[in-house]
Structure 1
């Protein structure tokens, strides 16, 4: 244990954070868990062990654990992630790589009327955790239409949806996206790749994702779902 750090479960000093939690829309139990996790992260504890400790202590359900995992960040990391967020107007005339499942699943949640979260780092995220089990449904068609209409407005010079090759039905999904792009006569495509994160890291001037591990590897990142919040009437819970 590093000098100055305390054991999990002990709170010998105030939480070193300037942010105030605004979780009045969720249960007090989850609100308290978020505050405690944020404190532990700001004290330097590894996220996975801190998340497990806090979740077990408060007896959180799986969805509640997902809320903590996807929305809470230490202050320094949150600030770093925010700096990488770009104004959507900057994408005009530039190439854009899109983290296909990450972005599409989030917009599907919005189309279904689910509540999303405005996270510590400023990104809009869902907590559905359906990535490996994704299936093409009518909701997929609606979400894709919203995304393509948005991309038509943003007018990148060219865009590319990337889907993980190892996920079932990803080939059919990429084919569907290409077909819809062609219908709209947009300058873009979709394909499956073995490692989306590696491809996004150095292949595009701008990328679109809410995966913080990918965001940290790039300096010009677009939050596409956040641009659809008002249009789709999505409720955002601010963490």
Structure 2
């Protein structure tokens, strides 16, 4: 086992733990919602709001992830399913999105709840995925959800171009075999497009996928409540 985690960065406590900073982020998020709802471009809105409130780079990253327009929020909420809707269905998982978010949560990194009710973190793949100490536990949490949902099949979709995607596929396939789970793992060159076009029910917190998918389930929100997970949560609204 390696010693890697997806812990918070040095300085994150200063940016996200004080009430003063959280209040500033909440007001900034209101401004973002206003601008995006009036069709201002995301980058221009982020630059304007970030400069106005003198936000640091990681605060801006959190703000961007938590932001959405009124139309986006309504659209996403209208497609959100409950756990009871998943029985006997096939569920698609945005593999790296789900896995890294859970790894971050379990590593006590800051997790941000956005205006759409989705949870996001500040980690990323950046071309290479590296397994961390919390990877096994993250997969186990997905297994708990799978069993409780009574869904028929669960399909993990990973980015084929990302280095080590084959290794994480092998790890999940082995875990599924050992635990008699009806899981599949597929590698796709364009997983976002694949999920939006092919998944009747999918799990992701990626904004573009949420806007373009058919239906989605808030897996991380469910696990936080159902498994009573300890979370370093920043509620942005």
TM-score (norm 2): 0.84
> Where does residue 139 of structure 2 map in the other structure?
144
Structure 1 residue 236 and structure 2 residue 230: aligned?
A: no
Tell me by how many angstroms 1:28 deviates. Answer: 4.1
Shift in Å, 1:93: 0.4
Q: 1:103 and 1:77 mapped to 2: Cα distance?
A: 21
Q: Residue in 2 aligned with 1:10?
A: none
Q: Which residue number in structure 2 is paired with residue 104 of structure 1?
A: 99
**Aligned with 1:97: secondary structure?**
strand
Aligned equivalents of 2:39 and 2:198: distance in 1? 33
Aligned pairs, number: 217
Once the two structures are superposed, the pairs formed by residues 1-239 of structure 1 within 5 Å of their partners are 24=19, 26-130=21-125, 132-230=127-225, 231=227, 232-239=229-236
Offset at 1:133? 4.3
Residue 123 of structure 1, CA deviation: 1.3
Residues 101 and 131, structure 1, Cα contact 8 Å, conserved in 2: no
SS class of match (1:221): coil
Report how far residue 216 of structure 1 moved: 1.9
**Closer, same or farther: CA 180–127 of 1 in aligned 2, 3 Å:** same
State the Cα RMSD in Å: 2.0
Q: Secondary structure in 2 aligned to 1:162? A: strand
Instruction: Give CA-to-partner distance per residue, 1:95-121, whole Å, 9 cap, x none.
Output: 111100111111111111223222111
Structure 1 position 130, deviation (Å)? 4.2
The answer on whether the counterparts of 1:99 and 1:196 sit within 8 Å (CA) in structure 2 is yes
What is the CA–CA distance in structure 2 between the aligned matches of 1:25 and 1:160, rounded to whole Å? 42
2:199/2:214 contact within 8 Å kept: no
Deviates more, 1:108-117 or 1:90-99: 108-117
- Point out where structure 2 has 5 or more consecutive residues left out of the alignment: 1-17
Would the aligned equivalents of 1:33 and 1:58 in 2 still touch at CA under 8 Å?
Answer: yes
* Partners of 1:27 and 1:160 in 2: CA distance: 37
1:133/1:30 CA distance change after superposition, 3 Å: farther
User: Given that residues 174 and 190 in structure 1 are in contact (C-alpha distance below 8 angstroms), is that contact kept between their aligned partners in structure 2?
Assistant: yes
Moved over 6 A (4+): none
| Structure 1 segments unaligned to the other structure (5+ residues) | 1-22
Greater C-alpha radius of gyration: 1
